[in-house]
C-alpha cells in the first residue's frame, strides 16, 4: 500500500514537469520585463553645434523600459537590442523636454518608460584659453627645489558649455620633482581643468591632453634684499606705512649662489601711488639665478591715507590787536575763533595752541564798529591754515 502511494506521488511530479515544459515550450505565455539604465543616444547634436549650442550634461543619459512579449522573446532580448534616441533638432537654449523614440526587437511591446521625456539643458558653446598651472608631487632633496621650469603649452584652449567653461580657472599639470636631477629633463603630464577652488571640472574638451614640462633641481639660498625709494607722496596724501621685505630666497647652481651676498631690487617711486597697495618688487639677478618659491610673491606693502585734520578754539582774549590809532580804545566783541589745519600726522602732532598766534590790525580805522580780518601764524609751520570766522567785530571809541 505504501509503495503504491510513493509511486503515485512520483508520477504526479513527472506529469507536472511535463506539463510545465509543454506550457513553456509550446504555449509560450506572455510576460513582462524591466530593462534598467538603457543609454539614450542623442541625434542631431551637429545641428546644435552649427548654431553655437551644446547640451550641458550629455553623459550618463539613461532610461528604464518595461516591455511585454512572449516569454521566449523577452528572455532572448538583451540590453543592447533596445535602442532609445532623443532628437535635438529644433530645440534651443535653455531647459528642454525631449520626446524619446524607442525601438524594440520584433515581438516586444513597450509598456512604460521612466522618464517619458528627457530633460536637457542646452547651453551656449564657447571656447576660452586658460593658463597652465603646475603642481609639484614627490619630495625634493633638503635645501633644493625645481627650477628653470618651462611648459609647452603655457595656455590651453577649453571648449564646452558656457556654464562649465566659465567655471574653469586654470589647467593643472603635475611635475614629479623626485625624478629631477641637476640636468634639465622633460616630463609629460596629463592636463585637467580645475575651478578656482581646485575642483575638477569634467565635461569640457581640452585642446591638448598632455603638457610637456622641462626643469631641473636647483640649490636654494636666502640673502639680504636691498630696495630703495624715491619721490614724495602727493600733497593731499600721507604715507603711514611701508613694509619692504629685508630678505629674499633665490635658487641656482651652488657655485653661483656662493658668490651672491645680497640682492638689489628696483627702487619704488612713492609719488606714483595715491592708495594703499601691494607693490611687486622687481629684483636684479645674475643669469641662471631665479627667485625661489618662498619669495615668489615678493611685495612691498604700502599704506596711504588722506591728510588728517586738527582744530583749535580761541576766545577774544587770545587775539592781539595791533596798530590801535592814538587816542582810541578798541574792544573786540565776543567772538570764538576756530583754527583748522589739514596735514600729515607727524606735523600735526608738533602743533600746539601755544604755537598759534592770532592778531588783527586796526591801522587807518576811525570811530565806530568795524569788521577786521583776523591773521593767524603758527610757529615753524608754512602750510595752509583755515580760520573761522575770518573777520572779528571791532568797536573803536575815543579815550576819556
Counts of helices then strands in the chain (DSSP H, E) = 6, 32
Contact 127, 54 (CB under 8 A): no
Vertex 381: Cα angle to 377 and 384 (nearest 5): 75
**Contact status, residue 286 vs residue 223, Cβ threshold 8 Å:** no
Predicted local distance difference test score (pLDDT) of residue 18: 63
pTM reported for the whole predicted model: 0.63
Q: Mind listing the pLDDT tens digit of every residue in the chain (400 residues)?
A: 546 666 676 767 767 676 665 555 555 688 888 889 999 999 998 888 889 999 888 777 999 989 888 888 888 888 888 899 999 998 888 999 999 999 988 888 888 989 989 899 999 999 999 999 999 999 999 999 999 999 999 999 999 999 999 999 999 999 999 999 999 999 999 999 999 999 999 989 999 999 999 999 999 999 999 999 999 988 889 999 999 999 999 999 999 999 999 999 999 999 999 999 999 999 999 999 999 999 999 999 999 999 999 999 999 889 998 998 888 888 888 778 999 999 999 999 999 999 999 999 998 888 889 999 999 999 989 888 999 999 989 998 888 7
Model pLDDT, residue 5: 66
Instruction: Spell 309-322 as b/e; 16+ CB within 10 A means b.
Output: eeebebebebbebe
CATH architecture designation of domain 227-306 = Beta Complex (2.170)
Region of 94 (left: φ > 0; alpha: ψ -120 to 50; beta: rest) is: left
Q: Is the peptide bond before 153 cis (omega within 30 degrees of 0)?
A: yes
What architecture is domain 309-398? Beta Complex (2.170)
Which of 387, 392, 235 is CA-nearest to residue 311? 387
The reported pLDDT for the residue numbered 28 is 65
C-beta of residue 206 within 8 angstroms of C-beta of residue 167: no
Give the Cα separation of 212 and 197 in Å (integer).
24
Whole-angstrom distance between the N-terminal and C-terminal Cα of the chain?
167
Q: From CA 299, how far away is CA 295, in angstroms rounded?
A: 9
**Residue where the block lists cell 641662471:** 288
Burial code of 245-268, b = ≥16 C-beta within 10 A, e = fewer? eeebbbbbeeebbeeeeebebeeb
Q: Could you give the C-alpha distances from 76 to 62, 128, 195, 201, in angstroms and in order?
A: 22, 49, 47, 41
CATH for the stretch 27-115: 2.170.120.30
DSSP, residue by residue, 306-326: EPEEEEEEE-GGGEEEESPPT
Domain ranges within the chain, ordered by starting residue: 27-115, 126-217, 227-306, 309-398
pLDDT at 144: 94
| CATH (one of 3.30.460.10, 2.170.120.40, 1.10.3720.10, 1.10.4080.10) for 126-217 | 2.170.120.40
Q: Cα(191)–Cα(135) distance, rounded to whole angstroms?
A: 11
Residue 33, Cα to own-chain centre: how many angstroms? 52
* pLDDT recorded at residue 334: 73
Same fold, 227-306 and 309-398: yes
Amino acid at each position: 500500500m505504501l509503495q503504491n502511494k510513493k509511486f503515485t506521488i512520483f508520477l504526479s511530479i513527472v506529469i507536472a514537469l511535463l506539463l510545465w515544459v509543454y506550457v513553456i515550450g509550446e504555449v509560450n505565455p506572455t510576460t513582462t520585463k524591466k530593462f534598467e539604465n538603457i543609454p539614450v543616444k542623442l541625434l542631431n547634436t551637429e545641428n546644435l553645434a552649427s548654431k553655437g549650442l551644446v547640451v550641458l550634461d550629455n553623459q550618463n543619459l539613461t532610461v528604464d523600459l518595461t516591455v511585454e512579449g512572449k516569454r521566449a522573446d523577452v528572455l532572448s532580448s538583451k540590453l543592447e537590442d533596445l535602442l532609445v534616441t532623443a532628437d535635438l533638432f529644433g530645440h534651443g537654449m535653455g531647459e528642454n523636454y525631449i520626446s524619446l523614440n524607442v525601438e524594440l526587437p520584433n515581438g516586444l511591446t513597450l509598456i512604460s518608460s521612466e522618464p517619458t521625456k528627457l530633460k536637457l539643458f542646452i547651453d551656449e558653446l564657447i571656447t576660452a584659453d586658460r593658463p597652465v598651472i603646475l603642481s609639484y608631487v614627490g619630495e625634493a632633496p633638503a635645501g633644493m627645489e625645481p627650477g628653470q621650469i618651462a611648459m609647452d603649452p603655457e595656455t590651453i584652449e577649453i571648449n564646452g558649455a558656457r556654464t562649465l567653461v566659465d567655471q574653469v580657472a586654470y589647467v593643472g599639470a603635475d611635475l614629479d620633482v623626485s625624478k629631477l636631477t641637476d640636468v634639465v629633463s622633460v616630463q609629460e603630464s596629463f592636463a585637467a581643468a580645475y575651478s578656482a577652488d581646485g575642483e575638477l571640472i569634467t565635461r569640457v574638451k581640452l585642446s591638448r591632453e598632455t603638457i610637456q614640462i622641462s626643469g631641473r633641481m636647483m640649490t636654494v639660498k636666502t640673502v639680504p634684499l636691498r630696495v630703495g625709494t624715491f619721490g614724495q607722496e602727493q600733497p593731499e596724501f600721507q604715507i603711514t606705512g611701508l613694509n619692504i621685505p629685508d630678505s629674499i630666497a633665490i635658487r641656482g647652481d651652488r657655485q653661483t649662489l656662493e658668490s651672491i651676498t645680497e640682492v638689489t631690487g628696483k627702487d619704488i617711486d612713492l609719488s606714483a601711488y595715491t592708495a594703499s597697495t601691494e607693490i611687486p618688487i622687481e629684483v636684479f639677478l645674475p643669469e641662471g639665478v631665479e627667485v625661489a618659491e618662498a619669495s615668489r610673491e615678493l611685495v612691498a606693502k604700502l599704506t596711504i591715507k588722506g591728510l588728517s585734520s586738527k582744530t583749535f578754539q580761541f576766545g577774544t582774549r587770545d587775539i592781539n590787536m595791533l596798530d590801535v590809532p592814538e587816542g582810541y580804545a578798541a574792544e573786540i566783541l565776543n567772538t570764538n575763533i576756530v583754527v583748522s589745519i589739514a596735514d600729515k600726522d607727524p606735523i600735526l602732532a608738533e602743533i600746539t595752541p601755544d604755537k598759534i598766534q592770532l592778531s588783527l590790525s586796526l591801522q587807518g580805522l576811525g570811530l565806530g564798529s568795524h569788521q577786521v580780518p583776523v591773521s593767524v601764524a603758527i610757529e615753524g609751520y608754512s602750510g595752509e591754515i583755515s580760520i573761522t570766522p575770518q573777520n572779528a567785530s571791532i568797536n573803536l571809541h575815543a579815550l576819556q
